[in-house]
Amino acid sequence: MSEGLFTQLLDLACGAFLLAAVVVLWRRELVAIVRLFALQGLALAAIALLLGLHEDRWDLIVVAAGIGALRAGLLPYLIRRALTALVADQEQGETRPYVRSEEVRETQPLVNVAASLLTAAALTLLAYAVARPLVELDPTPATRALPVGLAVVLIGFFVLVTRRRALAQVVGFLLLDNGITATAFLAASGVPLIVELGVSFDVLLAVLVLQLLTVRVREAFGTTYIDDLRELHD
Amino acid sequence: MNAALTALLLTVPAAAPLAVAAGYALVGLVTRRASRAVPTARGEARPRPQLAEKTVRHPGTAAGGVSVEDGKGEASDASAPVEQLLAPRARGRRPADWAGLASPTVILVCGALLASDVVDDGALAAYSGLLRADALTVWMLLVVGAVALIACASAPAHLAGERAAGRIPDVSAWRYHVLVHAFLAAMCLALVTANLGVLWVAIEATTIVTAFLVGHRRARTSVEAAWKYVVICSAGIALAFLGTVLIYYAARQAGVAEAWALDWPTLLARADRLDPAVTRLGITLVVLGYGAKAGLVPLHAWLPDAHSQAPAPVSALMSGVLLSVAFAAILRYQVIADAALGPDFTRVLLTGIALLTLALAAGLLVAQRDYKRMLAYSSMEHMSLVALAAAIGSPLALAAGLLHIAGHGLAKATAFCASGGILQLRGTSKIGRVRGVLAQSPWLGALFGLAVVALLGFPPFSLFASELGIARAGFAAGAGLGWAMAAALLLVLIAFAALATRTARMLLGPGEPTGESPSALWPLVLGLAACAALGIAVGPLGDLLSQAAAVLERP
């Protein structure tokens, strides 16, 4: 692969990666948000794949395949299944899921869509400002795209803080995690394999735990609005 | 010492609790299957959701996940028949609760064996540097072992009380044991690994396994605490991973090979070549991220909720050692940062965080109405003192900080286990509704009172010596830190007054004696005795303590 083509494809993948995070802020249907998260997982796998091809490292290509399977396949599947369970539970046999249920929409985000998108722009600028020393240390095409990873980390945090549905918060956490993984790839072609495996395993378990907790939140509070969790305070 | 023995001693502290967890999971599954074979009227055949199957990689993982959606709604109905069915056998199975003592014993024995080698020969490593023990590791292992011994030895009495009150069905007792031992395994792995990436994985694993211990009661409050705990800790610790990635990037750019770029001794040796700007960003993220797990601001909000909702022995473990294991991770990074950036950067960062945490904890202690939350805020207070000791960074301060970790672990574990007893006795955790515990239940009341006295920093308990040491080191370290120390002491005084008046209110007053049997309280006596012994003389641990402080000393 020529250097120019590699740079262009890498920038394209990074652009798609960032765009997916921004569009998550725009959409309110949880199904659409999960689909965007899966697309972002594909973009992340593409980044890893491009780096692997560029550096002729087979292990990186295998890691890319694993990341694609986990973040574009398994994790979105788990969240979608949790969503279906919540909907089925509420509608008791309703044949058209995702239509009427309150549970599948983020009806009252803390910050409205326009303000969210503006914040995303501000966060991206912040990421570029913060990442300046990181890029200056070793200016290659990959590290020049590094601010994108940090921007997605910040947007993930923003989603986590402003979204009130339990499952939307889970997606926020996963965006954050995608951003960190992308940063690791763009900065240093990924962390060592044993750490990558451990991290992926931890993320998978964390999502399973959060999925079970979502069901329990629903059982205990009758809703998955995190704002309703107000029993404990000082 | 030969290599095989070293490898064994380093592996066992993490592997033994995992094996115990696996054993509990297997026995739990077998008994569950046996109880399922007996036909009952309804729902009982459905298994309750079991994380156990996931943590030990049992083949039934997928089924365990699905059963949750099916099992809901029947959960409360199902528990009653299960209890009736299993009640006659419950007495015979109690010894199983005591098998949990195996893990802390093994951790303590390994810690003691490692201690003698490390003191004589310096750091040991195995598996090409993946596992490594220096004096700091061994000191923390001993603290984990001692606190786990108190917690695991108090567990049978706690579980018996919960069973008697019908609050837990029998299956969740097995789940409790599996998760507690997996928790211990994760903490030990975090201590013995030299790879900063594996360290992160282990600390994140502690969040995952304790999530269902915090939310074990399925009441609204428990579920809320568990949700906040997992979301805040996972997001917080994700920051620490980002920091780890940045340090890794800096190390790679400094010419360290991929396999060694997260190895702590290698990073320390090459720290002067790390890029300062990248390291500064990375260290800030690491301190904030692991600080979330150590109960420091700004991501501390999970701590009082989780500590107040978890079962008492789990609160003891979380408060006594989980916080300090996370803080030990910060200490490891601090040494690297000091070598790369000079001491001022982490000193300012940690002093600021410590003072903010201390102010918050003192303020909320004054207004506290719940005694388990009161103990949780007291943990934040003590962790911020340890952070202050780390910020000072002189040999005296570091040794005092490490002694403070040990003393706080023992005293807080005792206090939480005793508070669990009070909760079972009175059925409420509101301070305003508990009076006369001393008259009602003299042993329990006295032990709770003494544990709080230890936490307040009275002699002969070791917190007196360590707080004195931290204060002396702070005033000796120069004007800036002297003022910070003075402010900290003022805040500690406020916390002291709040803790003392609330505890006195709970313990004193008239009450009907219940005729308690003190036999179940021996672990608490042991914990207080150990805390007092450490305060009087460090004895053979003195060498280890000074070497552990030397590991952290500034170059």
DSSP per residue over B165-183, as a string? Answer: TT-S-HHHHHHHHHHHHHH
Please give the average per-residue pLDDT across B368-388, as a whole number.
95
Q: Look at residue B555 in the predicted model and tell me its pLDDT.
A: 64
Q: Look at residue B35 in the predicted model and tell me its pLDDT.
A: 76
Please give the average per-residue pLDDT across B256-278, as a whole number.
93
DSSP 8-state code for residue B433: G
- Name which of B126, B476, B189 is nearest B328 in CA terms: B189
* Residue B69 in contact with partner chain A when CB distance is under 8 A: yes
Residues in chain B closer than 8 A to A230 (CB atoms): 224
- Asked if B72 and A208 come within 8 Å (Cβ–Cβ), the reply is no
Judged against a pLDDT cut of 70, whether residue A197 lies above it is answered with yes
All residues at 6 or more sequence positions from A5 whose CB lies less than 8 Å from its CB, including other chains = none
Could you tell me if B473 and B394 are in contact, meaning their C-beta atoms sit under 8 angstroms apart? Answer: yes
pLDDT per position as a tens digit, B219-243: 889 999 999 999 999 999 999 999 9
User: Considering chain B, what is the average pLDDT of its residues?
Assistant: 87
DSSP 8-state code for residue B516: -
- Asked if A231 and B221 come within 8 Å (Cβ–Cβ), the reply is yes
Where does chain A show beta strands of DSSP type E?
none
Cα A7 to Cα A211, B23, B140, B146, B471: the distances in Å are: 38, 53, 48, 55, 56
Please give the average per-residue pLDDT across B487-500, as a whole number.
96
* B555 burial type by CB count under 10 A (0-12 exposed, 13-18 middle, 19+ buried): exposed
* Residue B205 in contact with partner chain A when CB distance is under 8 A: yes
Q: How confident is the model at residue B38 (pLDDT cuts 50, 70, 90)?
A: low
Q: Work out how many domains chain B is built from and give that number.
A: 1
Judged against a pLDDT cut of 80, whether residue B218 lies above it is answered with no
Q: Look at residue B420 in the predicted model and tell me its pLDDT.
A: 93
| Beta-bridge mates of residue A165 | A225
Q: How confident is the model at residue A75 (pLDDT cuts 50, 70, 90)?
A: very high
**3-state class of B145 per DSSP?**
helix
Q: What are phi and psi of B125, to 5 degrees?
A: -140, 155
Residues in chain A closer than 8 A to B253 (CB atoms): 137-138
Residues in chain B closer than 8 A to A85 (CB atoms): 69
User: Can you tell me the distance from the alpha carbon of B344 to that of B339, in angstroms, rounded to the nearest whole number?
Assistant: 11
Tell me: ipTM over 0.90: yes
User: Can you tell me the distance from the alpha carbon of B76 to that of B71, in angstroms, rounded to the nearest whole number?
Assistant: 10
Could you tell me if A181 and A46 are in contact, meaning their C-beta atoms sit under 8 angstroms apart? Answer: no
Q: How confident is the model at residue A99 (pLDDT cuts 50, 70, 90)?
A: very low
| Beta-bridge mates of residue B193 | B131
A contact test, residue of B72, B131, B233, B241 with most A CBs within 10 A: B241
**3-state class of B274 per DSSP?**
coil
Please give the average per-residue pLDDT across A208-227, as a whole number.
87
Judged against a pLDDT cut of 60, whether residue B51 lies above it is answered with no
User: Number of H helices and number of E strands within chain A?
Assistant: 10, 0
All residues at 6 or more sequence positions from B85 whose CB lies less than 8 Å from its CB, including other chains = B35, B38, B40, B44
A135 min Cα distance to partner chain B (Å):
10
Q: Which domain holds residue B544?
A: 3-551
User: Number of H helices and number of E strands within chain B?
Assistant: 24, 2
Could you tell me if B152 and B100 are in contact, meaning their C-beta atoms sit under 8 angstroms apart? Answer: yes
B218 min Cα distance to partner chain A (Å):
7
- Asked if B367 and A234 come within 8 Å (Cβ–Cβ), the reply is yes
Could you tell me if B71 and B48 are in contact, meaning their C-beta atoms sit under 8 angstroms apart? Answer: yes
User: Can you tell me the distance from the alpha carbon of B455 to that of B461, in angstroms, rounded to the nearest whole number?
Assistant: 8
| Beta-bridge mates of residue B362 | none
Q: Look at residue A227 in the predicted model and tell me its pLDDT.
A: 79
pLDDT per position as a tens digit, B146-159: 999 999 999 999 99
Judged against a pLDDT cut of 80, whether residue B422 lies above it is answered with yes
* B34 burial type by CB count under 10 A (0-12 exposed, 13-18 middle, 19+ buried): exposed
Q: How confident is the model at residue A92 (pLDDT cuts 50, 70, 90)?
A: low
- Terminal-residue alpha carbon distance, chain B: 28
pLDDT per position as a tens digit, B81-108: 444 444 434 444 477 788 889 999 999 9
User: Can you tell me the distance from the alpha carbon of B346 to that of B283, in angstroms, rounded to the nearest whole number?
Assistant: 8
Where does B88-226 show beta strands of DSSP type E?
124-126, 131-133
- Asked if A137 and B75 come within 8 Å (Cβ–Cβ), the reply is no
Q: Look at residue B237 in the predicted model and tell me its pLDDT.
A: 93
User: Can you tell me the distance from the alpha carbon of B17 to that of B190, in angstroms, rounded to the nearest whole number?
Assistant: 13
Please give the average per-residue pLDDT across B403-422, as a whole number.
96
Please give the average per-residue pLDDT across B25-51, as a whole number.
62
Find the closest chain B residue to A171 by CA distance: B231
pLDDT per position as a tens digit, A19-50: 999 999 998 888 999 999 999 999 999 999 99
- Name which of B53, B123, B43, B98 is nearest B76 in CA terms: B43
**Facing A232 at nearest CB: one of B54, B248, B305:** B305
* B525 burial type by CB count under 10 A (0-12 exposed, 13-18 middle, 19+ buried): middle
Both structure tokens of B64: 């365990």
Both structure tokens of B6: 């070293």
Both structure tokens of A39: 């697309």
Q: How confident is the model at residue A4 (pLDDT cuts 50, 70, 90)?
A: very high
Contact residues, A window 104-133, toward B, CB-based 8 Å cutoff: 130, 133
Both structure tokens of B417: 């286990």
Please give the average per-residue pLDDT across B311-335, as a whole number.
95
Q: How confident is the model at residue A105 (pLDDT cuts 50, 70, 90)?
A: confident
| Beta-bridge mates of residue A225 | A165
Both structure tokens of B197: 């990436």
How many CA atoms within 13 Å lie on the side-chain side of B165? 14
**3-state class of B133 per DSSP?**
strand
Cβ atoms within 10 Å of A22's Cβ, excluding its own: 18
DSSP 8-state code for residue B132: E
User: Can you tell me the distance from the alpha carbon of B239 to that of B235, in angstroms, rounded to the nearest whole number?
Assistant: 7
Sign of CA dihedral B143, B145, B146, B151: positive
Q: Look at residue A144 in the predicted model and tell me its pLDDT.
A: 93
